[in-house]
Copies of this chain bind each other. A is one copy, B any other.
């Protein structure tokens, strides 16, 4: 799966996401690609779907937005967790094998065999909460 050649629209959408630190909505991505010839939502949503399949981007379910993966070279990860600043929108993608295991156990205790998890922690980053000097 690793060395999939991206199509034109997939490359365009990925480039937009990679050029931003903050998450973007699908329609915001579309706006930024009108010059490149994109006109309609399906063109973006289809690219987003594939990029998510390839593990190159992630959807933040709690804010209906998309971000480029910050761990391109980690391979496909089971669980991806995000720390999201509600003030500046900075996003950190957290990968932690021990946490994956914890989440898996939590699911099994609840009688569920987990396939995919959404973990999105909202709060204030150090910069926004004045914790940085």
Contact B102 A113 (CB under 8 A): no
Q: Which residues of B contact A36 (CB under 8 A)?
A: none
A113 in contact with B94 (CB, 8 Å): no
Assuming A61-B62, A62-B61, A99-B102, is B110 touching A94 (CB within 8 A)? yes
Q: How far is the CB of A87 from chain B (nearest CB, A)?
A: 11
The quantity of this chain's copies bound in the complex is 2
Residues in B with CB closer than 8 Å to A125 are 111-113
Residues of chain A whose beta carbon lies under 8 Å from any beta carbon of chain B:
61-62, 81, 83-86, 92, 94, 96, 99, 102-103, 106-107, 109-126, 129, 131
Interface of A is mostly: strand
Q: Smallest distance from the beta carbon of A98 to chain B beta carbons, Å?
A: 9
Q: A116 — nearest CB in chain B belongs to which residue?
A: B122
